Homo-oligomer: A and B are copies of this chain.
Amino acid sequence: MPRMRIEELPTPCAVVDLSRLERNAARMAERMTRLGVRLRPHVKTHKCAEIARLSVRGHFGGVTVSTLAEARGLADAGFDDLTWAVPIALDRIDDALALGARVRRLALLVDHPDAARALSARTRGAARRTPVFLKLDCGYHRAGVDPEDAASVAFARELSELPGLDFRGVLTHAGHAYRATRREELHAVARAEREVTVRFAERLRAAGAPAAEVSVGSTPTMSVVEDLSGVTEARPGNYLFYDAFQAAIGSCVLADAAFSVVATVIGHARARNELLVNAGALALSKDAGPTHVDPRCGFGAVASADRSRSFPGLRVRSLSQEHGELGSDAPIDYDALPIGARVAIVPNHSCLSAAQFDRYHVARDGVVVDAWRVLRGW
C-alpha cells in the first residue's frame, strides 16, 4: 500500500504521532532512571504491543495491565513480566492463573482478605506461587486498604503467609492527582503518594510482612516528582499519549499529546456559529474533562489534521453518538474549515478514546508509516 498522508485517511480514525510518542516515552524513561526506580509502564491507555515495547526501552521490560485482554495480547507479543493492577475479581482468578502459567510473572492485586483467601485456595499446591501486591489507598479513595488502619497491617501479615501466594509488596495509585488545577499542586500529591506508601511499607516490614516492592504511579505525579526514595517501581501510562486533561492540570503541554482522532467537517451551522464533525461520543468518549480547571473545556482541543495549525478558540461543545458539535466564542472561519475539511481532535481522556478503535494509524511528519492493533475488551 502506498504511504498516505493523514489527510487521506478515512474518518473518524485514531492517529498516533510517532515523534511525540517517542519523546514522551524517552522523557519518562530517563526521568525514572534518574530517580532510581524501575519503570513498569501501564499499557491501559494505548493497549498496544508496539507501544509497550517502545515504552520499556532502557528499563527492565515489565509492564502493567488493566485487563486480561491486554495481558494476553502482550504475552503473545513476548512480554513475560506483567502486573494486573486492578483488584482481582473472583470470577477471573482461573483465567488469570492460566495466563500466569504462560509467562514468567503475572502479579495480581488484592485489597480484601476474602479475595486473598479465595486466591490462595486456588493456588495452594501449585508448582509456582502467584505474586500478589497489597493495594494501598494513598488518598485517592477508590480501591486499596487504609494505611492508618491497624487491620491493614494484619491483612498484609496474613497475605505474606497465605499458601500459594508470593507477597511482593505494596502498590498504590495517586488518582487524586487529577483533582489538581496546576502543575504546582501535582508536586504535593506526588510527595504524599511517596511518603504514605513508603511509610506503610516500612510499617509492614517492621510487623513481619516483607514488602519487598513499593510500586507507585500516575502520569500526573510521575511527570513532576523529584524524589522517589524508598520506591522500587513506577507505573505511569497515560504519559505516552497524554491528552487535553493532562495539559489542563499541568502534567504536559497540549503539543505533547501524541494521540488524536481525525474527523471530517460534515456540517456548517452558521446561524449558531457551529461546525459539525463525524467524530462523536463513541470516537471521543463523553469524559467531561478538566471542568474543575475550565468549566467550558468541552470534549477536546481542535487542530488541523496534521496538527500544524491549531484552532484554539474552537471547542467540542457537545457530543452525540456519531456527531461532534464544535463551537467558538469568536466567529468561526468557515473558509478555513469547509465541508470535507479534516481536523485532529486531542480528546479530554486519551485512554477512553483510544479504546474505541481497533487500530492506530501511526504517523511521522504527517505521513502514515504503520498501523498498530489495539488490544480492546476484557
Residues of B within 8 A of A342 (CB): 91
Which of A50-58, A72-80, A271-279 binds B? A271-279
User: Which residues of chain B are near A141, meaning CB under 8 Å?
Assistant: 269, 272
Binds B, one of A27-35, A182-190, A319-327: A319-327
Encode A306-350 as 1/0 by CB contact (under 8 A) with B.
000000000000101111010000000000001110100000000
Number of interface residues of A (CB under 8 A): 61
Task: Say whether A92 faces chain B, with CB atoms less than 8 Å apart.
Answer: yes
Contact A89 B322 (CB under 8 A): no
**B12, B91, B286, B318: which contacts A352 (Cβ < 8 A)?**
B286
A274 to B278, CA, bound (A): 38
Contact of A266 (CB < 8 Å), options: B87, B267, B282: B87
A142 interface residue per 8 A CB criterion: yes
Which residue of the partner chain, among B91, B175, B282, B323, contacts A11 with CB atoms under 8 Å? B91
A266 vs B93: C-alpha distance when bound (angstroms): 12
Q: CB-CB < 8 A to A339: which residues of B?
A: 90, 112, 114-115, 118
Chain multiplicity (copies):
2
Q: Flag if A143 contacts B12 (CB, 8 Å).
A: no
Task: Report Cα–Cα, A288/B288, bound state, in Å.
Answer: 8
Among residues 47 to 97 in chain A, which have CB atoms less than 8 Å away from a CB atom of chain B? 66-67, 86-92, 95
| CB-CB contacts below 8 Å: A113-127 with B | 114-115, 118
* Chain B residues with CB below 8 A from A129, complex form: none
Contact A142 B340 (CB under 8 A): no
> Does A66 contact B357, Cβ atoms closer than 8 Å?
no
- The reply to whether B287 and A44 form a contact with Cβ atoms under 8 Å apart is no
Question: Which residues in B have their C-beta under 8 angstroms from that of A286?
Answer: 285-288, 352
Cα A321 to Cα B243 with chains together (Å)? 15
* Chain B minimum-CB-distance residue to A140: B320
* Chain B residues with CB below 8 A from A321, complex form: 44, 66, 351-352
Query: What is the CA–CA distance of A65 and B349 in the complex, to the nearest angstrom?
Result: 27
Q: Which residues 331-378 in A have Cβ within 8 Å of B in the complex?
A: 338-340, 342, 351-352, 355-358, 376-378
A256: interface (CB < 8 Å): no
Q: Cα distance A365–B267 when bound, in Å? A: 46
What are the residues of chain B within 8 A of A192 when measuring CB–CB?
A: none
Residue A268 interfacial (CB < 8 Å): yes
Most buried by B among A141, A146, A340, A342: A340
Contact A86-B338, Cβ < 8 Å, known A320-B175, A321-B66, A377-B357: no
A335 to chain B, nearest CB (A): 12
Taking a contact as CB atoms under 8 Å apart, the answer to whether B267 and A143 are in contact is: yes
Q: Which of B13, B287, B352 makes the CB contact (< 8 A) with A378? A: B13
- Complex Cα distance A56/B276, Å? 31
Q: A142-B276, A272-B141 are in contact. Are A92 and B288 (CB under 8 A)?
A: no
Say whether A162 faces chain B, with CB atoms less than 8 Å apart: no
Smallest CB-CB separation from A42: which chain B residue?
Answer: B321
User: Across the interface, which residues of B come within 8 angstroms of A13, CB to CB?
Assistant: 378
Rounded to whole angstroms, the CA-CA distance of A325 and B141 in the bound complex is: 10
- Are A285 and B285 in touch, CB under 8 angstroms? yes
What are the 7 tightest A-B residue pairs by CB atom distance, in nearest-first order? Answer: A90-B340, A89-B264, A114-B339, A87-B266, A89-B278, A286-B286, A66-B322
17 contacts between A and B (CB under 8 A): A11-B92, A66-B321, A66-B322, A67-B322, A89-B340, A90-B340, A91-B340, A91-B342, A114-B339, A118-B339, A141-B272, A142-B325, A143-B267, A143-B276, A143-B323, A146-B271, A286-B352
